[in-house]
């Protein structure tokens, strides 16, 4: 089978620390894969290697059939990248930004002009195409960035936090544009996001990356169903009670007990409503005051907690990827 992206043991080290370690994944044509992980987990470093912006320390990767080291130029012709930070020229109009990008990718005359009109319509910016980018709202800037990344008709599009900082309504509109790219244009998309509902709504599969390794990869529904049943979450007063509560439930046969933030404990159980009285009774008999209890069906947040033991938005300082960002340089050709 021909894969849009295929890696074998790809690794990136900064000094003696691995930002990405021995990652092997295969992504099918037309698939939308979500990469979930806390800051510094290795998401951006992995994308940087796949898009030829930094060279792997070990392993290999092929993007649209081309080796990211030996055939870097062919890889770049096959991909589009939408960065987390806005990189548009605010002194130009939206149309001019797209036109320059098309020229850089060798689109000629009429073909380029037609393509610019197509992508402007795709992201609903036709009516603002000839106004300066510095007058655009945050949502318009994101939409124009996506349009620019797609104007040259790449086979693969990398989206790094495409809706970061946007209001919920604008984010939903961006989701619609992204789904159009995969469903109508057949583009393979790799999406990094901190918004779990975004990954759940958009992605065919989700890969959770933590400390440089892919810890699990599957469809959102399959990942949630692995937890089974319901999730019970209890809030207590502090870290000491969390530790006692977690040990108490584990010793009484509850599996998958995880800490949720600094004041909570969660566990995946079957028949959650029937188990709540037993859960509360165990805490009461141990003298642990439970401030609140909630019950819900498993979500991707619960999946992430189960596999990593921490919330997605937790940030660890001094990790390899944060160290490497200031040191990453484009590959020399």
Find how far residue 185's CA is from the centre of its chain.
Answer: 21
Q: Is residue 325 over pLDDT 80?
A: no
pLDDT given at position 111:
95
Lowest mean pLDDT among 157-166, 250-259, 293-302, 323-332: 323-332
Nearest of 36, 74, 38, 72 to residue 54 by alpha carbon = 72
What the chain holds in terms of domains, given with CATH numbers, is 5-219 (3.40.50.300), 229-297 (3.30.70.260)
Nearest of 169, 151, 167, 175 to residue 88 by alpha carbon = 151
- 69-84: buried (b, 16+ CB within 10 Å) or exposed (e) per residue? eebbeebbebbbbbee
Residue range 95-124: average pLDDT?
A: 94
User: CA 28, CA 289: separation in Å to the nearest integer?
Assistant: 50
Average pLDDT over all residues of the chain: 88
**pLDDT grade, residue 319 (50/70/90)?**
very low
- The single-letter DSSP state of residue 93 is B
Residue range 120-125: average pLDDT?
A: 91
Could you report the per-residue pLDDT of 72-91, keeping only the tens digit for each?
Answer: 999 999 999 998 888 999 99
Residue range 226-233: average pLDDT?
A: 86
Whether the CB-CB separation of 220 and 206 falls below 8 Å is answered with yes
Lowest mean pLDDT among 80-89, 112-121, 321-330: 321-330
Whether the CB-CB separation of 4 and 314 falls below 8 Å is answered with no
Q: DSSP of 210-252, one letter per residue? A: ETTEEEEEE-HHHHHHHH-SEEEEEE-SSHHHHHHHHHHHHHT
Torsion-angle region of residue 68: left (phi > 0), alpha (psi -120 to 50) or beta? alpha
Could you report the per-residue pLDDT of 16-49, keeping only the tens digit for each?
Answer: 899 999 999 999 999 999 999 888 889 999 999 9
Could you report the per-residue pLDDT of 169-220, keeping only the tens digit for each?
Answer: 888 888 988 898 898 888 999 999 888 889 999 999 999 999 999 999 999 9
Whether the CB-CB separation of 263 and 242 falls below 8 Å is answered with yes
**pLDDT grade, residue 264 (50/70/90)?**
confident
Q: Is residue 330 over pLDDT 50?
A: no
**pLDDT grade, residue 323 (50/70/90)?**
very low
pLDDT given at position 92:
97
Vertex 165 angle, CA 122 and 151, to 5°: 25
pLDDT given at position 295:
93
User: CA 38, CA 21: separation in Å to the nearest integer?
Assistant: 16
Collapsing DSSP states into helix, strand and coil, what is residue 305? Answer: helix
**pLDDT grade, residue 329 (50/70/90)?**
very low
Strands 58-63 and 66-67: antiparallel
Find how far residue 284's CA is from the centre of its chain.
Answer: 40
The radius of gyration of the chain from alpha carbons, rounded to an integer in Å, stands at 23
> Is 292 exposed, middle or buried (CB count within 10 Å of its CB: 0-12, 13-18, 19+)?
exposed
pLDDT given at position 316:
41
Q: Which residues pair with 34 in a beta bridge?
A: 191, 206
User: CA 97, CA 135: separation in Å to the nearest integer?
Assistant: 14
**pLDDT grade, residue 317 (50/70/90)?**
very low
User: CA 107, CA 132: separation in Å to the nearest integer?
Assistant: 23
């Amino acid at each position: 089978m021909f894969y849009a992206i295929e890696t074998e043991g790809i690794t990136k080290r900064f000094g003696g620390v691995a930002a990405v370690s021995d990652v092997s994944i295969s992504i099918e044509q037309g698939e939308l894969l979500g990469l979930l992980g806390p800051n510094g987990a290795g998401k951006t470093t992995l994308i940087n290697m796949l898009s030829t912006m930094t060279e792997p320390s070990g392993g290999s990767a092929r993007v649209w059939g081309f080796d990211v080291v030996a055939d870097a130029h062919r890889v770049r012709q096959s991909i589009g990248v939408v960065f987390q930070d806005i990189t548009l020229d605010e002194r130009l109009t939206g149309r001019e930004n797209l036109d320059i990008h098309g020229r850089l990718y060798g689109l000629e005359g009429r073909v380029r002009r037609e393509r610019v009109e197509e992508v402007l319509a795709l992201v609903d910016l036709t009516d603002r195409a000839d106004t300066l980018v510095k007058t655009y709202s945050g949502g318009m800037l994101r939409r124009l960035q996506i349009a620019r990344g797609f104007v040259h008709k790449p086979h693969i599009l990398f989206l790094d936090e495409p809706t970061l900082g946007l209001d919920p309504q604008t984010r939903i509109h961006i989701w619609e544009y992204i789904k159009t790219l995969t469903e109508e244009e057949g583009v393979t998309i790799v999406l990094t996001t901190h918004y779990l509902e975004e990954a759940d709504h958009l992605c065919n599969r989700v890969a959770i990356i933590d400390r440089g390794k892919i810890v699990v990869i599957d469809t959102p529904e399959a990942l949630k169903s692995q937890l089974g049943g319901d999730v019970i979450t209890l809030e207590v007063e502090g870290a000491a009670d969390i530790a006692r509560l977690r040990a108490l439930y584990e010793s009484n046969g509850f599996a998958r007990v995880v800490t949720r933030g600094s004041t909570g404990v969660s566990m995946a159980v079957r028949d959650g409503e029937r188990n709540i009285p037993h859960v509360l009774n165990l805490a009461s008999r141990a003298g642990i005051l439970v401030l609140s209890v909630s019950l819900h069906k498993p979500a991707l947040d619960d999946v992430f907690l189960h596999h990593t033991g921490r919330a997605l938005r937790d940030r660890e300082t001094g990790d390899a990827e944060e160290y490497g960002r200031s040191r990453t340089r484009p590959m020399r050709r």
